Amino acid sequence: DIQMTQSPSSLSASVGDRVTITCRASQDISYYLAWYQQKPGKVPKLLIYGASTLQSGVPSRFSGSGSGTEFSLTISSLQPEDVATYYCQKYYSDPYTFGPGTKVEIK
Amino acid sequence: QVQLVQSGSELKKPGASVKVSCKASGYTFTRYAVNWVRQAPGQGLEWMGWINTHTGNPTYAQDFTGRLVFSLDTSVDTAYLEINGLKADDTAVYYCARGQNFFDYWGQGTLVAVSS
């Protein structure tokens, strides 16, 4: 099975900072990659699919890029409401594995 | 609006079975797959499999083969997850989620606790 990794596992940044999270797949998954945000105690929320397509209603400060085996999620200007754990998920083929998550906190 | 509403929390003993429901509304149920994802306390998301709501054909993640049953009642737009032979490490929040591959709507989650 294709394995998904994320880095860093956690980060702390200031409000207004640009934040980038990396997701790597152990094999080529083309652009079949989604990103989710899960705030503490809440349900996961789809942010991005197709590696770079923003889900409707998601703020434009979120963006995704990459293809093949390396992907990134960028928050252009970190806001307090962005405190959450972010997961990537591959859907090239099942199993639709999630990455281990990156916890984002405010410094 | 699209909603997935799951059944309430469950407390089960090891070896027992549990059945979680996921009732969909606000869209044509048979046009979108239903996936099941679980999250153990303090842990990440684990995909369990999906069911084709048009054909009823289930696909199970390898780690769960033999213990899970996905089913449907399309007359009430509801998907079900049944887990047999519960173990303590099945304690988790179980989510249903809509989508063929990525998941745009999620249920609120159902806590299943397994303890003797």
Q: B69-94 burial, b if ≥16 CB within 10 A, otherwise e?
A: ebebeeeebbbbbebeebeeebbbbb
Q: Cβ–Cβ of B107/A34 closer than 8 Å?
A: no
Digit-coded pLDDT (tens) for A19-74:
999 999 999 999 999 999 999 999 999 999 999 999 999 999 999 999 999 999 99
CA atoms within 13 A on the CB side of B55: 6
Is pLDDT of A75 > 90?
yes
Average pLDDT over residues B94-99: 98
Digit-coded pLDDT (tens) for B36-89:
999 999 999 999 999 999 999 999 999 887 899 999 999 999 999 999 999 999
| Per-residue model confidence (pLDDT) at position B63 | 86
Distance CA B75, CA B88 (A): 34
| Per-residue model confidence (pLDDT) at position B17 | 98
| Per-residue model confidence (pLDDT) at position A87 | 98
Output B101 or B42, whichever has higher pLDDT: B42
Banded pLDDT at A104 (limits 50, 70, 90): very high
Nearest-CB residue to B108 (from A43, A45, A87): A43
| Per-residue model confidence (pLDDT) at position A92 | 87
Q: How confident is the prediction for chain B on average, in pLDDT?
A: 96
Contacts of B94 in chain A (CB under 8 A): none
Residue type, B84: N
Distance CA B6, CA A61 (A): 32
| Per-residue model confidence (pLDDT) at position B101 | 87
Contacts of A49 in chain B (CB under 8 A): 102
Q: Cβ–Cβ of A34/B108 closer than 8 Å?
A: no
Token couple for B44:
């990440």
The DSSP symbol for B16 reads -
Could you give the strand order of the β-sheet that contains A19-25, starting from the edge strand earlier in sequence?
A: A4-7, A19-25, A70-75, A62-67
